[in-house]
Amino acid sequence: MSATIIDGKELSAKVLDEAKTEIKGCMIRPSIAVIQVGDNPASNSYIANKEKVCSSVGIYFRLFKFEDGTPELSIINKIKELNNDEYVNGIMVQLPLPVQYNEKRLLNTISNAKDVDGLTDINVGRFVNGKKSLIPCTALGVMRMLDEEGIEVSGKDVVIVGRSKLVGRPLATLMLNRDATVTNCHHLTKDLAEHTKRADILVVAAGVPNLITADMVKKGAVVIDVGINRVNDALCGDVDTAEVAKKASYISPVPGGVGPMTVAMLVENVLTCYNAKNSK
Amino acid sequence: MSATIIDGKELSAKVLDEAKTEIKGCMIRPSIAVIQVGDNPASNSYIANKEKVCSSVGIYFRLFKFEDGTPELSIINKIKELNNDEYVNGIMVQLPLPVQYNEKRLLNTISNAKDVDGLTDINVGRFVNGKKSLIPCTALGVMRMLDEEGIEVSGKDVVIVGRSKLVGRPLATLMLNRDATVTNCHHLTKDLAEHTKRADILVVAAGVPNLITADMVKKGAVVIDVGINRVNDALCGDVDTAEVAKKASYISPVPGGVGPMTVAMLVENVLTCYNAKNSK
């Protein structure tokens, strides 16, 4: 037995095609503004990819790059200016920020209506309280992959490794809202394998290369690898894909899995903001 | 072996004594306003108990009781009036509301600074995002019981049965923030016993009498019963306490467990609001 590969590139191409068609009909182009502080190489590469994808579907992409050391107030003022700019639909602050910046304050300066990363207090509260809100892209991307493959979530034992606000936590809420039994593991979990071995659906977002080996996975499980690690200049996830694929029923690879889906969900979130504004 | 009984009455008495001493030093009394709609007998009894406990520590308690059928706008206007009343520190809407009322709208009318049940979108978002916020009383009560008994949470396998916004969900966040490995179960969980049996700490908030029997509990586990059910005019929880106590290391009974702690945490939340206002 060998797992079906969940092809994030192919699935995202479908989402992006639909977005492109929709945007062709827009008189004013949907737009996104990305705030970057410093020159983190991984961030540079993520942002370049976002720009490429957004531009390819017709979203007007702007990067506001600040030197590390720029006063926080200057960045806050830029965000406020973008909040008030009616031609800006989505705003995101690329994380991580250099440590001296107050991440929570910067994120919460973003208008809730433009918060395409879904990280402001109000968006998180609305989300957890079951109301319409913007939701973090990676978590949305994972759900979309499962949905597109027709994988049922309700009643399933879902184990999520990682508890970040961008992936682990929002994904737990999404899964719980869809009636899964959800376990959140992390680096302080006593016996990680004990949990991963009983997962019907295993989502790994730990940032540890090869954390999940074949002996830690149940036969027939669905395995979604959210890790993005650079090892010897190559990208790899948190899962030993080659070996786990022999046991799993579905597996998403890195690269070419959740990554492309995340950017596709960013495009969808920009369109959500755009449409909410223009339907007012 | 027989479990140590976690005596919620005794623990809450300690909290209430401290509150009473603190309130004795206040020139203006801390105050709470409770909104009730309709005449649900269980709500009447909960409210009567809140009034008794609040009054006993010196909190000024007022009940605004509306007939079922009162226009929602009248209730919203009352909440707004209370929001603007500088002598009102805490406001809560007794749940459940009659079905025709928009619970989310009513709850979100409450000022975030007076939201002693911790249910507004902003308080939930701040809480999940790791910021200072008001947190639902029952979830706080469970954590306090564990803390007072010196029960370590970090690294433990915590299983929570129930996913309500008042108990299951906020408790999962509190436990995760304290480094537990957290599983949220509910009525659609495939094999509940499989999960409960591996719990170091088992919290049950399902509202199903005797849902948890001794065979579903690991030897030495800590068992917290949040259920409040009325069976043949007697109160009981969700746990078969007599039998489970023979296997557990700690167990909280119903009545006399989480219930009194919940009201004690309400008193603390009123004081938190009072002190935040008066330290401005």
Write out pLDDT tens, residues A105-144. Answer: 999 999 999 999 999 999 999 999 999 999 999 999 999 9
Quote helix, strand, coil % in chain A, to nearest 5: 45, 20, 40
Is A224 found in the same domain as A148? yes
CB-count burial class (<10 Å; 0-12, 13-18, 19+) for B276: middle
Domain contains A7: no
- pLDDT tens track for A59-83: 999 999 999 999 999 999 999 999 9
CATH number (domain holding residue B185): 3.40.50.720
Residue B131 in domain: no
Q: How far is CA B45 from the centre of its chain?
A: 15
A231 and A142, same domain (yes or no): yes
CA distances (Å), origin A134, targets A179, A212, B99: 20, 31, 27
Residue A126, in any domain of the structure: no
Q: Tell whether B88 and B159 lie within a shared domain.
A: no
| Pair A181, B194: CB distance under 8 Å | no
Sheet strand arrangement including A31-37: A60-66, A31-37, A90-93
- Percent of chain B's residues with pLDDT above 90: 96
Facing A190 at nearest CB: one of B120, B157, B183: B157
Per-residue pLDDT at A278: 86
Average pLDDT value for residue range A11-16: 98
Q: How confident is the model at residue B280 (pLDDT cuts 50, 70, 90)?
A: low
Q: Please say which residue of B112, B144, B166 terminates a domain.
A: B112
* Structural domain boundaries enclosing B246: 136-259
| B207 torsion bin: left (phi>0), alpha (psi -120 to 50), beta (else) | left
What does the pLDDT read at residue A233?
86
Inter-chain CB proximity A131 and B184 less than 8 Å: no
B153 touches chain A (CB under 8 A): no
User: How many independent structural domains does chain B possess?
Assistant: 2
- Indicate the residue among B52, B78, B112 that finishes a domain: B112
- CA A155 – CA A158 distance, rounded (Å): 9
pLDDT band at A280 (very low <50, low <70, confident <90, very high): low
Q: What is the CATH number of the domain that holds A108?
A: 3.40.50.10860
In tens, the pLDDT along B130-169 reads 999 999 999 999 999 999 999 999 999 999 999 999 999 9
Q: Tell whether A172 is covered by a domain.
A: yes
**pLDDT at position A205, please?**
98
Residue B270 located in a structural domain:
no
Same domain, A140 and A246: yes
Tell me chain A's radius of gyration from C-alpha atoms.
19
Mean pLDDT for the stretch of residues B15-22 = 97
pLDDT score for B233: 86
Do A186 and A237 lie in one domain? The reply is yes
Question: Where do we find the tokens 């800590």?
Answer: B222
Reply yes or no on whether B94 is catalytic.
yes
pTM over 0.90: yes
Query: What pLDDT does residue B1 have?
Result: 66
Mark whether B166 and B247 lie in a shared domain. Answer: yes
Domain-embedded: residue A5: no
Q: Are B144 and B101 members of one domain?
A: no
Beta strands in B94-200 (DSSP E): 157-161, 181-185
- Please indicate if any CB of chain B lies within 8 Å of the CB of A176: yes
Are residues A155 and A97 part of one domain?
no
For residue B25, give both structure tokens.
Answer: 């030093």
Is B246 in the same domain as B185? yes
Instruction: Tell me if A128 and B131 make a contact (CB, 8 A cut-off).
Output: no
Average pLDDT rounded to a whole number, residues A11-30: 96
Tell me: do A189 and A254 sit in the same domain: yes
Least CA distance to A181: which residue of chain B? Answer: B185
Q: Are residues A173 and A61 in the same domain?
A: no
Alpha-carbon distance of B216 to A166, in angstroms, equals 34
Is B143 found in the same domain as B63? no
Indicate whether A265 belongs to any domain: no
Mean residue pLDDT of chain B comes to 97
Residue B197 lies in a domain: yes
Active-site annotation of A, residues: 50, 94, 117
Q: How far apart are the C-alpha atoms of A119 and A167, rounded to whole Å?
A: 11
Contact B40, B13 (CB under 8 A): no
Task: Calculate the alpha carbon distances from B57 to B116, B163, B193 in Å.
Answer: 17, 32, 41
Q: Is the dihedral of CA B56, B62, B67, B70 positive or negative?
A: negative
Active site residue B50: yes
Could you tell me if B244 and B212 are in contact, meaning their C-beta atoms sit under 8 angstroms apart? yes
